[in-house]
A = this chain, B = another copy of it.
C-alpha cells in the first residue's frame, strides 16, 4: 500500500471543520498533516479534531507552504487571499486546491489563471457543483434526445435565511469580493449552467440589494447568450422574503425540453423530459430521480488523483474555468450599473 498523501488545511473555519475534514477523513490515502489559521487557537482546535500533530500547526501561510512533507495545500481563505496562496504554491512548487469564488475580482482572478498556466502544478478551484452527477446525466443522456439547445431558464431563488451560519462570517458581511453573495453562491449556479451549456458569451443583468446584511446587491435577474447561440434567463438570489426555495434549470431544444429540478421540497433531485418538435409530436414525459454523489468528496478524489499522478490535466476545475464563472457575475454587475446594458463576458 502506498503512503498516504499529506495535506495542509489553511483557513480552519466552519466549512473546513464541518465539510472538508470529514470528507478528507473518508477518502483513503489522504492525511490531514498540517494546519494554519490567522487565529492560531482555531487552527489548534481543528488540529485536535483532525489528529494533526501540534508542531504542524503553523504561525504563517509561508511556513506551511515551505514544509517539505506537505504534499498539497487545501485553502479555505477569504477569497481576496486566494491569489496570495496561489503565489506561495507556485513559489514552493506545491499543488493547491482552494475554495471558490476563484478570487475577489477579475484582476486577481486573471493573475491566478496566469500563475496556474505558468506551471505544471495541479491547481484546482474547489467548485464542487462541477462534479454533480446531474450534469453528466443531462449532458450525456438527456440533451442528445432533445435536439439542439436553443433556449433555457435557470432559476435559483430562495428566502433570506436568518439562521444561515455562513452569513455571519466576517468576509461575507463586509465583502471585498465583487457582488458579495451573488459571486459567492452565483459561481456554483454558473458552474452547473456552463458545464451543461458551455461558455456564456454575454450578459444583460439587473441587480438589487434586498437585505442590509448582505453587504451589497443580493439578487440578480439576467439574460444570457451562450457561445453556442442559446438564449435564456438566469435568476439568482437567496435574499427574498418568504418564498419556497425554488431551483430549476429548464432547457429547450429543437426536439423537446428537459427540466432539472433540485428544489429541496423534492425527495430527490429529478430530471423530467419529453421529446418531439411540436405539441402534436410530443412523447410522454419521463422523470429520472437522481441519486446524487457527494460532490465535495468527488472534488477531493479528483485532486488527489491529479496530485498523485502529478498531472494537472486531470484537474476538473482549473482556474481558467472558475475564472469564467466569476466573469459572468462581473459582467452582470457591470451591466446592472448601466441599467441592464449588454456586456461581453471577459476572458483571462
B-contacting residues of A (Cβ < 8 Å)? 146-147, 150-151, 153, 155, 157-163, 202-208, 210, 219, 221-223, 225, 231-233, 235, 237, 240-244, 250, 252-257, 274-283, 285, 335, 338-342
Residues from chain B with a CB closer than 8 A to the CB of A231 are 206-208, 219, 221
**Shortest beta-carbon distance, A142 to chain B, in Å?**
13
Residues from chain B with a CB closer than 8 A to the CB of A161 are 278-280
Q: Are A279 and B162 in contact (CB under 8 A)?
A: yes
Total copies of the chain: 2
Closest to A338 in B: B342
Q: Are B242 and A340 in contact (CB under 8 A)?
A: no
Closest to A213 in B: B278
Q: Are A221 and B233 in contact (CB under 8 A)?
A: yes
Residues from chain B with a CB closer than 8 A to the CB of A285 are 244
Q: Are A159 and B278 in contact (CB under 8 A)?
A: yes
Residues from chain B with a CB closer than 8 A to the CB of A243 are 250, 252, 256-257, 274
Q: Are B279 and A160 in contact (CB under 8 A)?
A: yes
Q: Which residue of B232, B280, B341 contacts A341 across the interface (Cβ within 8 Å)?
A: B341
Q: Are A256 and B241 in contact (CB under 8 A)?
A: yes
Q: Are A204 and B162 in contact (CB under 8 A)?
A: no
Q: Are A278 and B342 in contact (CB under 8 A)?
A: no
Q: Are A208 and B151 in contact (CB under 8 A)?
A: yes
Give CA–CA (A204, B220) in the complex, Å. 14
Q: Are A241 and B278 in contact (CB under 8 A)?
A: yes
Q: Which residue of B151, B235, B256 contacts A233 across the interface (Cβ within 8 Å)?
A: B235
Residues from chain B with a CB closer than 8 A to the CB of A222 are 223, 233
Q: Are A162 and B221 in contact (CB under 8 A)?
A: no
Identify 9 residue pairs between A and B in the complex whose beta-carbon atoms are under 8 Å apart, listed by A's number.
Answer: A146-B241, A204-B341, A240-B257, A241-B254, A241-B257, A244-B285, A340-B342, A341-B341, A341-B342
Q: Are B204 and A342 in contact (CB under 8 A)?
A: yes
Q: Are B159 and A340 in contact (CB under 8 A)?
A: no
Give CA–CA (A222, B342) in the complex, Å. 12
**Shortest beta-carbon distance, A176 to chain B, in Å?**
25
**Shortest beta-carbon distance, A21 to chain B, in Å?**
28
Give CA–CA (A306, B279) in the complex, Å. 41
Give CA–CA (A244, B221) in the complex, Å. 23
Give CA–CA (A280, B242) in the complex, Å. 8
**Shortest beta-carbon distance, A201 to chain B, in Å?**
9
Q: Are A340 and B221 in contact (CB under 8 A)?
A: no
Give CA–CA (A158, B252) in the complex, Å. 10
5 additional contacts (CB under 8 A) given A159-B276, A203-B340, A222-B233: A219-B252, A242-B276, A244-B285, A338-B342, A339-B342
Residues from chain B with a CB closer than 8 A to the CB of A339 are 202, 225, 342
**Shortest beta-carbon distance, A277 to chain B, in Å?**
5
